[in-house]
Each structure stands twice: as structure tokens, then as C-alpha cells.
């Protein structure tokens, strides 16, 4: 399929006498023609980045979409903007299939004062673009089939239903189904799944259960739970195809690039604080030379952080875009369990910022258990008084003390307080909870309650 795209791009380049590039509708590079020009303007920063990184930034996308390319049915001329890194004007050939944009062919326009391509040549190039649109639409349909089978695996109940879903996905993937894979959960994920993710065998959007956990036996048609609560925000599921376990690191870099997009979309919809949107930017605004959406983060609230304790993180965690990555598995039989690992890691990254924004299940420590157990908000009667807004500092003190294995000197140093102040606070914790912090089981109960409260 990739060879077909390259041949068609080369055909357009020959028709118009200029090197062409083909990107999908998400501005990911698919193919590009040879660049043999000695003109420095032929490779401006925007074009260079697109070819070297095989994708464009959110700012670049907003810049060019502001000229109406997503709605156009014929060639669109876009002027140069040197201040934004666009040294040469562009000609965009929208690639459509049955009225729906599938991608874009980009060519460098002639310099001012020089004649551009003849109308007949542009018409011929648009005919080639239509053939590209057919191929992209067919590829998208194949990807949609994989998405459906992948979603079925993640939402099927245990037993024969899950076995059948795994068998269907294996058949859809063909020989790749027996290879090495890693499951990834990105949450929250607003909108539709991206058309493509580098290194992914399948991608789908998984609805969330009423308890706040993505997927589960409720399936894609999950309705509101008892009392009318919402099924919650969806998550993006990515099935990464790996050549070896060493290939996981570059695959995670591709996953990390998804987070700013999700944060940006959520911010535009008013779902998250601090997330910005570059959509709808006019050509006169900040151009493609800008920085784009930044990585979302939060102030650390755990040991050594400046936050307000376990109870102060739940609301912020609900709005952070995080990703969880499961341990790689061979074949698909263990994929449902891998998805549970990915969900747990994503929840842990949201609960504890130092773990994220992309957390691997193997590195989340106690959250490997807590994220599985604490599907519902923690409401232990002993810890309940401590987990109120009025006692956030006491909760943080107790958590740091327990994180430091009960070593008072270390805990006081991390908290930046005198040891006597620490002892006073710990005594208040014992009064509020009725627990004895000299007892191992009481310490374990309180430590679990404080950690699990972050996952609420």
C-alpha cells in the first residue's frame, strides 16, 4: 500500500514539476517526492520538520486549516509567511473520497512573479489525488474493522465471549497476531480515535464504566449507572506492535505525543484546566513556528512535593491526561489482562504526577495493587476523618512518614519541619483515626487508604 502512495505522489510531482508530499487528515506524513533543489527556500522549517519527524505540529495544522483546506474541493493556494517558518507559498490538493477529506497533497508554489502550474496540469493532479483518496478510504475501513475487533476484546465479558473476541482480532491481524504487543491506555480521551498512531497495530476508543474505569464487561453500550451517574469519559486504547522489548521505548515516545493533543481538545471543550486549544487560529495569529500544546503536568503532592496531600489530588487527577503502558505480551491470549495493567498504570499516573504522564505498569509500585482494588472511592471508617479538606496537611504528613518507612528523621527532613512538630502531627493523626502507628497492620491500613484515595 505504501508503494502505491509513493507512485501516486511521484506522478503528481511529475505533472506539476514540483516535489510533492502526502499527509493524512491528521497531518502525518505518508509519502514524499525527491527534493533535488539547491534553493534553500525549497526546504523551509515546516517542510523539513514534516519529513524528518513524519508529522506536523498542532500549530501547523491550525495554520493551514484556517485557509479552508478541509472544506475545499479543488486546489488551495496559501501564501508564504516567513515569520512563521513558511518561506515559500504552498499549493494544497485536498484528497477526498465521497465528499470526505482523507488527506492532503502539498506542493511548493512558484515564487512571486513566476507562473504557477497550468490549470490543465492541476486538473490532472486532482484526478490523481482522487485515486489517493480511494486508497486512504479503503485503508481507513480496514483500520475501522481492526478497531471494532480490538474494542470487542477490551469490553467482552470473561469466558467464551472474550475467547471469541480474541480469536476474531487474531484473524483480523493475520500473522501479526502472534507477535509481541503492548497495550496502552490514554485517558481521558475526547473525541474520535486518531486515524493512525506510529507503531500501532490497532486503535480504538473505549467507553468508561460508571466507576470511572475504562472498559469492562459493560461494553460499548454502557448506560448510566444506578442513580443516573454518567458512564464517564472515554479512554484511547492502543495496541502497539513491537519487534522486541527493546522497541518499547521509541513506541512510548509516539504515545507521549498523543497527550498534548488530548489535553488540547479537552481544554477546548472546557474539560480541563490549563489546556489550550490552537484550533481555529487565523493566519494572522501565532503561526506554525509556535510551540504548540505543552505537556500537561501537576505539582507533586507526594513525598517531597508542595501539594496539599492525598485528598488534594483527586480533582486535579481527573483532568490530567495520562497514559499507562502494560508489560509486553506475546500473542493475544493475555491481551485482556494487559489492558487491565495499562488502565491501572494510567490511573496511577493521574494519581501520582511523579509517575507520569506516561507510566509503565512495571514501575508504579503499590499502585499495581491499589489501582485494581480501588475501583470505587475509598471510605474506610478509620481513615475517613483524615481524608477531609480540613486535615490535608495531616494526611500529607502521615503519608510522607509512612513512605519513609516510619523513619522520623527522614520524614521531618522531607516535610521541612522539626521532628517535634512531626511527632505532634502524628499524635493528632492517631487521635483522628483511632489507629496506632506503632502497629504494622494499622500502618498498612492507613498507608493503603491514603494512596488509594488518590485514585478516587
Which sequence spans correspond to the domains of the chain? Answer: 2-136, 156-277+294-373, 389-453
The model's pLDDT over 339-353, given as tens digits with 9 standing for 90+, comes to: 999 998 998 888 888
Are the beta carbons of 369 and 335 closer than 8 angstroms? no
Mean local confidence (pLDDT), 147-152: 88
Can you give the pLDDT at residue 38?
A: 53
- Other beta carbons within 10 angstroms of residue 445's beta carbon come to 16
pLDDT at 305: 38
DSSP 8-state class, residue 214: B
The mean per-residue pLDDT over the stretch 419-443 comes to 92
**3-class secondary structure, 102:** strand
Lowest mean pLDDT among 266-280, 316-330, 364-378, 397-411: 266-280
pLDDT at 289 over 50: no
Q: Which of 308, 348, 346 is nearest to 324 (CA)?
A: 346
Rounded distance between C-alpha atoms, residue 374 and residue 107, angstroms: 54
Q: Among 12-26, 230-244, 266-280, where is mean pLDDT lowest?
A: 266-280
Q: Which of 411, 341, 329 is nearest to 372 (CA)?
A: 341
N- to C-terminal Cα separation, the chain: 46
**Of 282-296, 320-334, 375-389, where does mean pLDDT reach its minimum?**
282-296
pLDDT at 298 over 90: no
Per-position DSSP letters for 13-29, written without gaps between them: HHHHTS-EEEEETT-BE
Nearest to 51, CA basis, from 67, 75, 27: 27
**Residue 159: per-residue pLDDT:** 81
Q: Which among 107, 50, 109, 115 is positioned nearest to 80, based on CA atoms?
A: 109
Cβ partners under 8 Å of residue 287, min gap 6: 59, 63, 81, 83, 84, 85, 86
Residue 224 pLDDT class (50, 70, 90 cuts):
very low
| Weakest-pLDDT range from 32-46, 56-70, 304-318 | 304-318
pLDDT higher for 320 or 341? 341
Using pLDDT thresholds of 50, 70 and 90, give the confidence band for residue 310: very low
Which range, 185-199, 239-253, 425-439, has the best average confidence (pLDDT)?
425-439
Q: What is the pLDDT at residue 212?
A: 46
Contact 207, 224 (CB under 8 A): no
What is the pLDDT confidence band of residue 127, given thresholds at 50, 70 and 90?
very high
Residue-averaged pLDDT of the chain: 76
- Give the confidence band of 329 by pLDDT, cuts at 50, 70, 90: very high
Instruction: Using the predicted structure, report yes or no on whether residue 97 has a pLDDT greater than 80.
Output: yes
CA distances in angstroms from 87 to 42, 44, 115, 292, listed in the order given: 8, 6, 18, 19
Tell me what the mean pLDDT of segment 406-428 comes to.
93
Grid cell 510533492 in the structure block, residue: 20
Q: In the predicted model, is pLDDT for residue 300 greater than 50?
A: no
* 392-403 and 419-433 helices, crossing angle to 10°: 110
Q: Which residues contact 140 (CB under 8 A, 6 or more apart)?
A: 102, 195
Residue 315 has pLDDT above 70, yes or no: no
Name the architecture of domain 2-136. Answer: 2-Layer Sandwich (3.30)
Query: pTM of this prediction?
Result: 0.55
Q: To which residue does cell 518561506 refer?
A: 87
Which is nearest to 325 in space by CA: 219, 262, 245? 245
Q: Is the pLDDT of residue 246 over 60?
A: yes
pLDDT at position 391 is 92
Q: Is the pLDDT of residue 183 over 50?
A: yes
The pLDDT of residue 230 is: 32
DSSP H helical ranges for 284-418: 314-317, 335-351, 367-373, 392-403, 408-415
Find the helix packing angle between 248-256 and 258-268, rounded to 10°. Answer: 20
CATH 3.40.50.11540 correct for 389-453: no
Quick one: average pLDDT of 405-421? 93
Tell me the three cell numbers of residue 386.
483524615
Q: What is the DSSP letter of 71?
A: T
> Which range is least confidently modeled, 8-22, 131-145, 187-201, 239-253?
131-145
Mean pLDDT of 185-202: 83
Which range scores top for mean pLDDT: 20-34, 82-96, 183-197, 411-425? 411-425
Distance in angstroms (rounded) separating the CA atoms of residues 118 and 197? 37
Dihedral sign computed on CA atoms, order 260, 266, 267, 273 = negative
Q: By the 8 A CB rule, do 206 and 235 touch?
A: yes
Cα 321-270-200 angle, rounded to 5 deg? 35
Identify the pLDDT of residue 111.
Answer: 67
Amino acid at each position: 500500500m505504501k508503494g502505491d502512495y509513493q507512485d501516486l505522489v511521484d506522478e503528481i510531482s511529475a505533472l506539476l514539476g514540483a516535489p510533492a508530499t502526502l499527509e493524512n487528515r491528521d497531518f502525518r506524513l505518508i509519502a514524499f517526492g525527491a527534493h533535488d533543489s539547491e534553493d534553500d527556500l525549497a526546504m523551509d522549517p515546516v517542510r523539513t520538520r514534516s519529513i524528518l519527524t513524519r508529522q506536523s505540529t498542532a500549530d501547523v495544522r491550525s495554520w493551514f486549516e484556517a485557509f479552508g483546506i478541509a472544506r475545499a474541493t479543488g486546489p488551495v493556494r496559501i501564501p508564504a509567511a516567513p515569520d512563521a517558518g513558511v518561506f515559500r507559498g504552498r499549493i494544497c490538493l485536498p484528497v477526498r473520497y465521497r465528499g470526505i477529506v482523507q488527506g492532503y497533497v502539498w506542493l511548493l508554489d512558484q515564487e512571486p512573479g513566476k507562473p504557477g502550474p497550468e490549470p490543465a496540469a492541476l486538473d490532472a493532479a486532482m484526478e490523481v489525488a482522487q485515486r489517493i483518496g480511494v486508497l486512504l478510504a479503503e485503508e481507513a475501513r480496514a483500520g475501522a474493522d481492526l478497531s471494532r475487533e480490538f474494542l470487542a476484546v477490551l469490553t467482552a465479558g470473561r469466558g467464551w465471549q472474550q475467547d471469541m473476541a480474541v480469536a476474531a482480532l487474531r484473524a483480523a491481524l493475520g500473522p501479526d497476531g502472534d507477535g509481541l504487543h503492548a497495550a496502552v491506555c490514554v485517558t481521558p480521551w475526547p473525541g474520535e480515535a486518531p486515524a493512525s498512531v506510529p507503531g500501532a497495530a490497532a486503535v480504538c476508543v473505549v467507553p468508561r464504566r460508571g466507576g470511572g474505569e475504562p472498559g469492562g464487561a459493560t461494553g460499548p453500550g454502557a448506560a448510566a449507572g444506578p442513580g443516573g451517574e454518567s458512564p464517564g469519559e472515554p479512554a484511547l486504547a492502543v495496541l502497539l506492535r513491537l519487534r522486541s522489548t527493546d522497541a518499547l521505548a521509541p513506541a512510548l515516545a509516539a504515545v507521549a505525543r498523543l497527550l498534548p493533543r488530548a489535553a488540547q481538545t479537552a481544554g477546548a471543550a472546557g474539560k480541563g484546566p490549563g489546556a489550550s486549544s490552537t484550533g481555529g487560529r487565523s493566519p494572522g495569529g501565532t503561526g506554525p513556528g509556535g510551540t504548540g500544546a505543552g505537556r500537561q503536568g501537576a505539582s507533586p503532592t507526594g513525598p517531597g512535593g508542595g501539594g496539599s496531600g492525598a485528598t488534594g489530588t483527586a480533582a486535579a487527577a481527573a483532568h490530567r491526561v495520562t497514559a499507562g503502558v502494560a508489560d509486553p505480551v506475546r500473542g493475544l491470549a493475555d491481551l485482556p489482562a494487559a489492558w487491565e495493567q495499562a488502565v491501572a498504570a494510567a490511573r496511577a499516573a493521574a494519581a501520582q504526577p511523579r509517575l507520569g504522564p506516561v507510566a509503565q505498569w512495571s514501575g508504579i509500585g503499590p499502585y499495581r495493587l491499589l489501582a485494581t482494588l480501588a475501583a470505587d472511592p475509598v471510605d474506610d471508617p478509620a481513615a475517613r476523618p483524615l481524608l477531609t479538606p480540613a486535615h490535608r496537611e495531616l494526611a500529607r504528613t502521615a503519608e510522607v512518614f509512612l513512605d519513609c518507612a516510619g523513619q522520623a528523621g527522614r520524614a521531618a527532613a522531607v516535610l521541612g519541619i522539626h521532628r517535634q512538630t512531626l511527632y505532634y502531627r502524628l499524635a493528632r493523626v492517631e487521635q483522628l483515626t483511632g489507629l496506632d502507628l506503632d502497629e504494622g497492620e494499622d500502618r498498612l491500613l492507613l498507608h493503603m487508604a491514603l494512596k488509594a484515595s488518590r485514585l478516587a
